[in-house]
Homo-oligomer: A and B are copies of this chain.
Amino acid sequence: MAIAPSSSVVRIGVLGCGHVGAAFIQLVERQADVIESRTGIRLQVSSVAVRNVSRERDVQLADGVLTRDAHAVVNDPTVDLIVEVIGGIEPARELIATALSHGKPVVTANKELLANVGHELWSQSDDAGVDLLFEAAVAGGIPLIRALRESLRGEPVTRVMGIVNGTTNYILTKMTEEGADYSAALSEAQRLGFAERDPTADVEGFDAAAKAAIIASISFGARVVAGDVYHEGISAVTDADIAIARRLGYVVKLLAIAEKIQDSATVAVRVHPAMIPVSHPLASVRDSYNAVFVEGDAVGSLMFYGRGAGGFPTASAVLGDVIDAAVNLRKGTHGTIGSFSRVPVMPIDETSSEYLIGLDVEDKPGVLHEITGVFAQHGVSIRAAEQEGIGSDARLVFITHTAREADVQNCVSELRKLSVVRRASGLLRVIGG
């Protein structure tokens, strides 16, 4: 289609051409006419910077579009807007900073970058009056960031809890629904391409922690970086833990939790496996889907559900941001993210939760008495207790009332020292009960 004479062309420089970059370029090609008819703006991908120009790609590019020189792209005065899908901190940081300094809006899908140096870049973009948008950096195609930044800007948000890692949700779903053990479920996820060959970043919670830092920053206007976020992964979750949780009416999910501590400026941000009641909306989020549950005093409960990864879902989020930034650019305006205050992040030891604690014990008189004594001594009050098995297979399962993390950890250390306790396992936090 010819460009309408009244339309304005916005030339896009794309840094990186992996799954997301290639999907974005295809999506722009396919949707350019519709976007032009709705906004009067013609999007054109004019340069694509890659490390290896001779590699086979999923996308056809016109001659002269592909280049190895990412710096030339951000410095090119004919490029209006930058899409950064390289990932990692450097050179992404430097390229984005350069683009912003030239007044070019930037759209990025880079969670690692934003979870570490986002505050520096956001403040640079605000000072320069240029958009830096990042919907795709958290929960892929789900329009969460825009909802938090704009729709809920006036809402007293109290807590945001999300399933923000598809790999671990896939593994936990297999363990829950098929009774697979952790390593079998991980292997299947790897075979199907849902997990990397080295799955550490996903299964140990690093990926979710980076997203939690961004979510906490945006939800509470607080400076939170990845290093502030306590994280535990799912590699220690056993099929026995999941079976107990199920029997008690819960499912186990890896949650990223950001909450505002009542009547204080403090926030708590953490990632860990948690038991959530089967009736909770997050409990029915299966396979590699993501979902984020937002609680606010006025709005009540909200949930946003969708694909948290994948080329096209992520590219869809990038494109939404690109249209927004292009429209703003042509109007000579930009979104503001506002300032972030330095607020205390509560150490995990001081957070409170209910806990499930499983103990393999000797089945003899006086055992329960001895164990409950240790709970009492640490001020951890028991909401429910039950015994499974008998004789040498006896296992006691406790659910506590809300208790401080440090008290529970000390209590469990002490329990491990008892001669009647063979193994303390399955320390799981219980949410939303």
A27 interface residue (CB < 8 Å to B): yes
B141 touches A320 (CB 8 A): no
Q: Mark A246-287, 1 if CB is under 8 A from B, else 0.
A: 000000000000000000000000000000000101001110
Instruction: Chain B residues near A323: list those with CB within 8 A.
Output: 150, 153-154
- A108-159 interface (Cβ within 8 A of B): 135, 141-143, 146-147, 150-156
Closest to A30 in B: B156
A409 interface residue (CB < 8 Å to B): no
A303 touches B300 (CB 8 A): no
A385 interface residue (CB < 8 Å to B): no
Instruction: Chain B residues near A303: list those with CB within 8 A.
Output: 291, 303-306
State which of B152, B291, B319 has its C-beta within 8 Å of the C-beta of A316.
B152
A143–B156 alpha-carbon span in the complex (Å): 15
A299 touches B312 (CB 8 A): yes
Known contacts A303-B305, A306-B303, A338-B38; is A150 also within 8 Å of B324 by CB? yes
A296 touches B281 (CB 8 A): no
Say how many copies of this protein the assembly contains: 2
A153 touches B306 (CB 8 A): no
A322–B327 alpha-carbon span in the complex (Å): 20
A323–B324 alpha-carbon span in the complex (Å): 18
Closest to A338 in B: B38
A310 interface residue (CB < 8 Å to B): yes
B296 touches A316 (CB 8 A): yes
Instruction: Chain B residues near A307: list those with CB within 8 A.
Output: 299-302
Number of interface residues of A (CB under 8 A): 59
A336 interface residue (CB < 8 Å to B): yes
A188–B317 alpha-carbon span in the complex (Å): 42
A315 touches B298 (CB 8 A): yes
Known contacts A284-B284, A306-B299; is A147 also within 8 Å of B146 by CB? yes
A35 interface residue (CB < 8 Å to B): yes
Closest to A32 in B: B154
Closest to A39 in B: B338
B320 touches A298 (CB 8 A): no
Instruction: Chain B residues near A153: list those with CB within 8 A.
Output: 35, 38-39, 320, 323-324
Instruction: Chain B residues near A27: list those with CB within 8 A.
Output: 154, 298
Closest to A135 in B: B151
Chain A residues within 8 Å of B, Cβ to Cβ: 23, 27-28, 30-31, 34-35, 37-39, 135, 141-143, 146-147, 150-156, 221, 279, 281, 284-286, 291, 296-307, 310, 312-313, 315-317, 319-320, 322-324, 327, 331, 333, 336, 338-339
